[in-house]
Amino acid sequence: MTKSKAGFATRAIHDGQSPDPLTGAVNVPIYLSSTYAQEEIGKNKGYEYSRVSNPTRDALETNLASLEGGSSAHVFASGMAAIMAMITLFKTGDHVICGENVYGGTPRLFNQIVTGYGIEFTYVDTSDPENVRKALRPATKLVHIETPTNPMMTLTDIRAVADICHEAGVELSVDNTFMSPYFQRPIEFGADIVMHSTTKFLNGHSDSLGGVLVGTKPSHAEQFAFVQKCTGGILSPFESWMILRGVKTLAVRMRQHDESGRKVAEFLANHKAVGKVFYPGLTTHPQHELAKKQMTGFGSMITFELGSLDRANTFLKGLKICTLGESLGGVETLISHPATMTHAALGEEMRAALGITDGMIRLSVGIEDTDDLIADLEQALGGI
C-alpha cells in the first residue's frame, strides 16, 4: 500500500516523517539551525534560511496536506496568523463573506484591522446557503465559514456553499478546527482552502501554538509560501515538532473524544439544571442529519445553557476535574465561558444577536475516564 492510499492513522504517523537518513531516528529531528551551509554559489541542499523553509516545518506541512487531502500546507505562528495570511490573497476593493458565528478573534481581526486596508466584509448566517448567494457581489473573492460554529455548534452544508461559490468564481475557506481532518475533510466537499488552529486537536496537548492553511491550487502554495517568507509569521521548528508529535495520536484521541463527547452530551441533555444543549450528535440538534452526512463523528465540543451569569459562575467554580480556561482540543477537559472569554470582543449586542448568552458554557471534552467527567459535572451542577 502506498502512502497516498494508506488509512488516516497510518498517514498521520508516517507521511512527511520518514526515518532520519543520517541516524535512522524514527522521529523527525528538530532542526534548530537558522541558516544552512551552501555548497557553492547557487547550489545548496534545499535550504538556505529557516524563515523561508526548515526541514522540521516541511515535514509537518507535508503531513497536514496529506491528512486534509490538499495539494499544499503552510504553517504559521498561530491560527490567527494563518487567517491573516489567507487575507493577503486580496486587495483594496475586494469583498469577503464570513459566517456570522465564528471564533470571536476572526471578526475582530477583520473589522478592526483588515477593513483599514479597504477590504470589505459581510457577515451572514451560512447555515442557510441561500444567504451566501444573496450576499455575493461582483467584488466577492472569498467565503469563509466555520462548521460547526463556535460556540453555537451550528453547521453549514459545505457542498452546497461550495457549489454556490464556484458558480460565482469565488473561493471557499473552511475553519475545520473543531472537527479535525479525522472527522471532517472539507476539501472532499468542494472547499478550496482549509484552515486550523493547530493549537487545538491537531496538537492535542495544550502545549503548542500554531495555525495552518491547506490549499488546493498551485496559486495557494505560491502565495502562502511567499507570505511566510515576507512576513516571517512562521511556526518554529520546535513548535512544528510538537504538532507532529501530537498528530501521531490524532486518530486514537479523536475516537475517544467522540465516544466521551456523546456520553457527556446525553448526560447534560437529561439533567434538570441544564437548559438547551448544542451538540450535533444529539438527535434533537436541528442539523443532525447534515452532521451525519459530512462528518464521520460528532467530536467533543458541546455548548449548553445554564440560564444566567451567576449560575454559570457558580457551576464553573465548583468543578474539580474540568479546567476553566481558554482554548480547546486538549487531552484534558477544558471548559470556557464564551461571553467573557472567546467572544467578549463582540460586545453584548452582537452576542445577543447570535444567541450567545451570559449563561452559556462551552465544553471541550477530554480523554479522561468518562465516568469521572460526568461525576464532576454532576456535582458542580448540583451546587447551582
Pick the catalytic residue: 11, 58, 103, 351? 103
350, three cell numbers: 452582537
Q: How far apart are the first and last CA of the chain?
A: 55
Pick the catalytic residue: 11, 57, 141, 200? 200
31, three cell numbers: 532542526
Q: Which residues of 175-199 are buried (b: 16+ CB within 10 A; e: fewer)?
A: bbbbbbbbbbbbbebbbbbbbbbbb
Burial of 313 (0-12, 13-18, 19+ CB in 10 A): middle
Pick the catalytic residue: 51, 159, 255, 263? 51
Strand segments, DSSP code E, in 111-263 are 120-124, 140-146, 171-175, 193-197, 211-215
Residues 6+ apart with CB under 8 A from 74: 61, 82, 85, 212, 213, 215, 221, 224, 225, 227, 228
User: Do the Cβ atoms of 176 and 145 come closer than 8 Å?
Assistant: no
Taking the CB of residue 293, how many other CB atoms lie within 10 A of it? Answer: 13
Based on the residue annotation, tell me whether 57 is a catalytic residue of this protein.
no
Return the ∠ at Cα 355 (arms to 373 and 296), rounded to 5°. 55
User: Do the Cβ atoms of 129 and 290 come closer than 8 Å?
Assistant: no
Pick the catalytic residue: 175, 258, 358, 376? 175
In 3D, which of 333, 314, 330, 336 has the Cα closest to residue 374?
333
Based on the residue annotation, tell me whether 175 is a catalytic residue of this protein.
yes
Residues 6+ apart with CB under 8 A from 378: 267, 271
Beta bridge partners of 323: 334
Based on the residue annotation, tell me whether 103 is a catalytic residue of this protein.
yes
Based on the residue annotation, tell me whether 200 is a catalytic residue of this protein.
yes
User: Do the Cβ atoms of 151 and 361 come closer than 8 Å?
Assistant: no
Active site residues: 51, 103, 175, 200
